[in-house]
Amino acid sequence: DCFRKTEELAHHFEKGIGRELHEQLVAQDNQNKHTSYITGPWFDMYLKSREPVVLNFNAFMSFNPDPKSEYNDQLIRATNMTFSALRFMKTFRAGYLEPEVFHLNPEKSDTQMFKKIIRFVPSSLSWFGAYMVNAYPLDMSQYFRLFNSTRLPKLNKDELYTDEKAKHLLVLRNGNFYVFDVIDRDGNILKPSEIQAHLKYILSNNSPAPAFPLGYLSSENRDTWALLRKHLLDNGNEEALQKVDSAVFCLSLDDFPVKDFVHLSHTMLHGDGANRWYDKSFNLIITKDGTAGINFEHSWGDGVAVLRFQNEVFKDSTKTPAISPQSQPASVDSSRAVQKLDFKLNDALKAGITKAKQKFDDSVEALSLNMIQFHEGGKDLLKQKKLSPDAVAQLAFQMAFFRQYNQTVATYESCSTAAFKHGRTETIRPASIHTKKCSEAFVGELSKHSTEELQKLIAECSKYHGRLTKEAAMGQGFDRHLFGLRYLALSKGIALPDFYQDQAYARLNHNIISTSTLVSPAVQLGGFGPVVSDGFGVGYQVHDDWIGCNVSSYPTRNGKEFLQSIYKSLEDIFNVLKGKKISS
């Protein structure tokens, strides 16, 4: 009944108002060749949201430890990573950063030979050379927001602010704010030994934690924070806030070691609220034992830009570190070079911070993070069986949810559309009739199927998921298109078409399983909060011979059980692929 109604609304939409909106959208896109039709609406979606950025939007990716253990000292690593980050920034601004390229056939195009040749082809023709070998240069327009950038809270809609002239670094420790210049008058990076000296000074500074840590404000509801920010400005903090907002980036130095992967995820995803500035484009977080990670604000950019930055910083800081454990800090007067920011707080501001802390603590208290590592197979075995590793991981999530809750729900997997100018992301929809059929067979009807039949069902899922992934990456998904049409209708003051008011559309966009994957030599794990209160946030990596998965959830869902169920699903899938009989 519901399905018939949705079908009818969809046909109506397709023939009527939907078609008109689509024609307008195409015309608008043709008039704006310099950008993508999704760019404006997508920035708006993020910046108009009034939810706190922490847990709702900010994501984290944690670095692998330095292979040379003595380099994982907090001061050494903070110095080396800061220096490498600044080198990346300078290389990028000078226009020398190698372009990001998506290689469909890496054997042909990801070679020194190709890179040498393509360098000498004029840019008007270089796309053709790349096209010939199936290598697509990716959009890098987000990169400039990595540095000197902050999301400023404003009533109704936030603003992205960037000040590339600022030369200082923001360092947070124990809830206190410090700044010092890392770029000199001539635009050169400060000597590594001087950066080391200043960071050492900050690490040995015994100022007590502030009674009212300002960091909590950046975790508030955006309108609440916008009003409090106005108070801060009116109360004589303009200069100090300007320093925070324009800083090259925020380095957060935590005073405790990391206990385990769960503790690591909590530290990088939200931390204690006092030693972070969640509005900065990113916080580089380094704990007492030298564990490092990045927490990034999501409106300005997507995982691809941050991941490229992390890969380069990891490679540079481990292969050619600026200082070694034997290096001595420069004998400079850090007490003059480093400025501790002091904020003038009145009673209204103190009350605002207290309330923000209470809300932050409650949210974090409600969040569970759990993880598993599956060591019975990975990418190698799946590729050997001609299956898509990503498809198999996603199938395991579907199977797990079906086992736990006996239903199929809206599922979201993000896919970069950086192959397009100003592209952001498109949604892959991993829940399909194929995954449902396969889940039913594995969870409830094992006795009815032979191992061969089960293998065939897995292959069907893989084939279909591969198709969806290709469509999404090539801009042929449906989520952003429908989003763009809806945005256009609202911006033109047209009554929202019935299609968008249907329950099916609401359910499709209530993503109970939200997923994102990355595999990189620099990153050990990444994660984010659930996007709905009754959802799961699933970060996963399919390695050559193992699969890692971490899940965030709130009290209405049991993340630990979901993970056990994912483990069981992976076990069953791999056993079937190995030709073993399995039991329910």
Average pLDDT, the chain: 94
How confident is the model over 92-106, as a mean pLDDT?
79
**Percent of the chain at pLDDT exceeding 90:** 86
Per-residue pLDDT tens over the stretch 448-480: 999 999 999 999 999 999 999 999 998 999 999
User: Per-residue b/e over 475-504, b at no fewer than 16 CB within 10 Å?
Assistant: eebebbbbbbbbbbbeeeeeeebebbebeb
At residue 583, the pLDDT reads 80
Higher pLDDT, 97 or 343: 343
How confident is the model over 112-119, as a mean pLDDT?
66
Name every residue whose Cβ is closer than 8 Å to that of residue 47 and which is 6 or more positions away in sequence.
151, 157, 158, 159, 160, 299
Query: With 60 as the cut, is the pLDDT of residue 133 above it?
Result: no
At residue 1, the pLDDT reads 80
At residue 127, the pLDDT reads 54
User: Per-residue b/e over 258-283, b at no fewer than 16 CB within 10 Å?
Assistant: beebeebbbbbbbbbbbbbbbbbbbb
Res. 101 pLDDT band, cuts 50 70 90: confident
Res. 223 pLDDT band, cuts 50 70 90: very high
Report how far residue 36's alpha carbon sits from residue 469's, in angstroms, rounded to the nearest whole number.
Answer: 20
Query: Which among 478, 448, 474, 442 is positioned nearest to 461, based on CA atoms?
Result: 442
The secondary element (H helix, E strand) that includes residue 553 is strand 547-553
Query: With 70 as the cut, is the pLDDT of residue 276 above it?
Result: yes
Query: With 90 as the cut, is the pLDDT of residue 119 above it?
Result: no
Report how far residue 485's alpha carbon sits from residue 14's, in angstroms, rounded to the nearest whole number.
Answer: 11
Per-residue pLDDT tens over the stretch 388-426: 999 999 999 999 999 999 999 999 999 998 888 888 999
Q: Domain 101-137 classified CATH 1.20.1280.180?
A: yes
What residues act catalytically? 298
| Cα separations in angstroms, 584 against 425, 457, 560, 576 | 38, 17, 20, 13
At residue 107, the pLDDT reads 67
Which class does domain 61-95+150-366 fall in?
Answer: alpha beta
Contact 346, 228 (CB under 8 A): no
List where CATH 3.30.559.10 sits in the chain.
368-480+502-578
DSSP 120: T
At residue 112, the pLDDT reads 74
Report how far residue 442's alpha carbon sits from residue 457's, in angstroms, rounded to the nearest whole number.
Answer: 10
At residue 128, the pLDDT reads 59
Report how far residue 256's alpha carbon sits from residue 170's, in angstroms, rounded to the nearest whole number.
Answer: 20
At residue 335, the pLDDT reads 96
Contact 426, 479 (CB under 8 A): yes
How confident is the model over 19-26, as a mean pLDDT?
96
CA 582 to chain centre: 37
Report how far residue 503's alpha carbon sits from residue 479's, in angstroms, rounded to the nearest whole number.
Answer: 16
List where CATH 1.20.1280.180 sits in the chain.
101-137
Per-residue pLDDT tens over the stretch 290-346: 999 999 999 998 888 999 999 999 999 999 999 999 999 999 999 999 999 999 999
Question: Considering the domain 368-480+502-578 in this protein, what is its CATH number?
Answer: 3.30.559.10
At residue 445, the pLDDT reads 85
